[in-house]
Chains A and B, each alone.
Chain A
Amino acid sequence: MRERGETHPHPLQEPRYPGPITLARLEEIFRDCVDFVHRTVQVGEDPRHTLTLCYLSGMVRMERVSDYLMRPMAQDPVLARCAGVAPMMERMRQGALYNLTVEERDRLDQVVFDLVAGWCVLLFPGESTVLSCFVGTEEKRSVSAPDNETVLKGAKDAFVESVRTNTSIVRRHLKAPELRIQEQIVGRQSATLVDILYIEGITNPHLVEQVAAQLRDIDIDGVFSTGAIEEYIVPAAHTPFPLIQYTERSDRFCAGLAQGRVGILIDGIPLGYLAPAVLGNFLQAPQDKSSNWLLATALTVLRYFCMLTTLLLPALYIAMVTFHQEMIPTRLALSIIAAKQNVPFRSAFEVIVLLIAFEILQEAGLRLPQSIGQTVSIIGGLVVGSAAVEAKIVSPAVLIVVAVAGIAGYTMPSQELGGALRIWRFVLVLLSSAAGLFGAVIGIAVLIVHLAGLESFGVPYLTPFAVSTGPATREHVLLRRPMPQVKNRPAALKPRNRRKQR
């Protein structure tokens, strides 16, 4: 028996719009749609040769309709001399129309979605099939530099909302004809185009099939946010850690494809997704490959250090000042004691409250317009913080610990990873408040077990830390080696062609 409030599954209806392709049927489907337009066009002198042209206003480019469709129908003498509708249709299909794309459709579903996508449909009297011509508008944002991934040295053509523009950008970077672009439609209502990109001969075909199968399984209303795809194709949803990497930089996306990873581009979302992704990928900044290898290595090590700092520092502080005071150097312990005199709250409470305050400030800063957001940060961080310290409500040591942990978290190149670390930071703080270092160590052990259990499309998440990838020189994980030394693609991706340079 179903629980109260639980809804029934809603199987996908195929075809969604059954029936013949007629104007009446189209009018029924697009009833109350002010943008649905149809007009009749008589070809030649014979009134029986009257065609119906249907399109959605605003979705098509009028000049194309006029020049590529209307003009040949009105002026082409060969069309006017056609003996019947069927030969006329065949003639149009073969090239009488100037339009680049002319397709014959025999299913109403196809016709309906063509209209929505900016196609123009020609209905021929007495014919069960129609001709569909793409005359869509190409109104889109121009390609510009990425907003969120700063580029110092490198291509500045970031992805835009149009998936076709994005595939063209990728094609310009990856001119290999082996670049494959498969397309699927996701979302019952949004009917969003989702493209799968990979390089045949390099990418593991099982991986491609796995990604394609995950996409095929998605049966949702629409793709209006990135989560609509991410949460459905990522195998393990019960983790805050990101299992698929995104980027708005086309060069980074193409580098991923050349590594043997599978790319996903979604119409309407100016991001490219790369799968699979392991923990190390989220600690690499796009700039690393452009920097000197020594500098990139030092910065990567710094990022790992910052990851541990943001995760562990508040928990270790609580453990040390509450349970294991012998761990603190004597002079530092004396400073902490002096700073905490007359502060009414326990250390654990102070840390938890300040961590929450930090999150609130961050959230407030993000939600407000940029200019006001900065004001909030200044008021919250500087004014309230210093006032709280002066009023002996919080101790300066706790303020420093929470601020350092927070700032260390901002060094994470991936916002998703930073968010996951913030969640786990709270968990570790609670555990260390209860049991000191024992609690923190147990929390860390659970975290490692959790991470070790994660897989991204068959690749263990802790590769290569927990899983050997063979003796070959590894790709950039902790140390970025000079590029001439890295001869092979990552073994964990099981590429068809291991070698990537001479």
Chain B
Amino acid sequence: MKKRILLVLLLMLLLTGCRRYSGFLPYAREIEDMELIRTLGVDTAGDAGVTITASGGTSQEETQVVSGEAGTISAAVLELQGEGSSYLYFGHVTQLLLGEGLAQQGVMPSLNYVLRDVEMRLETALYVVRGGTAGQAIEAAAADGSATDRLEALADDAGLTANSMPRTVKDVLAELDRQGASFLPAVLADGGLTAAGYGILKDGVLVGWAEGDAALGVNLIFGKVDADVVEVQAPDGTAAALRVVGAATSVRPIWQGDTLAGLKVHCKVDANLAEGSAMPDQATLDALEVELAQVEAERMAQALELSRALDADYLGLRQSAAFAVPWHKEALLGSYSMKDLKLEATAGAVIQRSYHADG
């Protein structure tokens, strides 16, 4: 009986799927023999295929940057393995940078690689490098510390920059599958990897950029307004700074008969009076709220205009509307097209309190 149990247990080892390594037991590799890759960049190499740039280490130690070129990402990664003495381990890649050129050709091969590779994770943060290649960005950041640390700081401090929101490979893949379009944060290929709005993807190809107010409009629609400060003019002519502390967006369809005519996006914005008059009267507050609502509505309108102009539902507006009126789900999700829709942006603002001690 015991021998049988032992035999069954040994046979269970064969079911672990690790036979492709030597023997039926999993393959052991010591952690100190590894170089943990934390940032991976993918660029197009023209006819040669793709160029991979990998960066490991922290700012405390010397950052290792290696690159390889091959027809596919897998082959390029294999080429990288031959460069150093350590085994390059991609299980700790937390950032994936795509060059603008590659993104314009299509991001799906890169995203699919992350999806299929046993070491890579779908939670990897995804960025597109605007006006340059991922390799340039990683090299530039490495000269000034580490691309990983810079991008981690960027993601952690998204609330402080107000024009970037972290996106993962899983988010983008899911949205491309669900609504045919998505967006991903953009960085410049300078040493600081400065945030530069969002790149807009349609059918897996980079088709445009959301920058400035349009990027802020994207944040507003997604409720990411951790550090959005809006400067408006008070009725008495003084400047007032309003810190936006909350935004809730709702999307409602506009119908013409049974036909979907447009989408109305309404955002309720909560703000605090950060600078300005210590104890404004109600009339002043009302005026400031109107000003703020106008600014925010304008930002959203710019983001929506991009959606209409590019004919890409990168904001998932149809999906949001379908959540609101699920009985019209078929009509709303039957198409990805946005160009014939009238997209309205409205906003309502409430100033909750003043940061002044008397407020």
Contact = CB atoms under 8 A, between A and B. Distances in A.
Nearest to A329: B92
A346 B13 CA distance: 23
Given A326-B119, A436-B26, A442-B9, A337 B58 contact: no
A322 B25 contact: no
A438 B16 contact: yes
Interface stretch (B29-37, B70-78, B166-174, B295-303): B29-37
Given A323-B27, A331-B58, A337-B34, 7 more contacts: A321-B30, A325-B91, A328-B31, A333-B31, A334-B58, A435-B13, A436-B28
Q: Which of B9, B61, B92 has the most CB of A within 10 A?
A: B92
A438 B58 contact: no
B89 interface: yes
A334 B16 CA distance: 28
Given A442-B13, A446-B9, A330 B31 contact: no
Contact of B13 (A322, A336, A438): A438
Contacts of A336: 31-32
Contacts of A328: 31
A436 B57 CA distance: 26
Interface in A322-359: 322-323, 325-326, 328, 330-331, 333-334, 336-338, 340-341, 343, 346-347
Interface of B: 9, 12-13, 16, 18, 25-32, 34, 36, 38, 57-58, 61, 89, 91-92, 94, 119, 121
A330 B92 contact: yes
Contacts of A438: 13, 16, 18, 25-26
A434 interface: yes
Given A330-B36, A334-B36, A438-B13, A346 B26 contact: no
Nearest to B16: A438
Contacts of A333: 31, 36, 92
Nearest to B35: A337
A442 B121 CA distance: 26
B153 to A, nearest CB: 14
Contact of B32 (A323, A341, A446): A341
A31 to B, nearest CB: 53
Interface in A398-457: 434-436, 438-439, 442, 446
A323 B26 CA distance: 7
A326 B25 contact: no
A326 B92 contact: yes
A337 B31 contact: yes
Contacts of A439: 25
A337 B9 contact: no
Contact of B31 (A322, A434, A435, A442): A322
A347 B13 contact: no
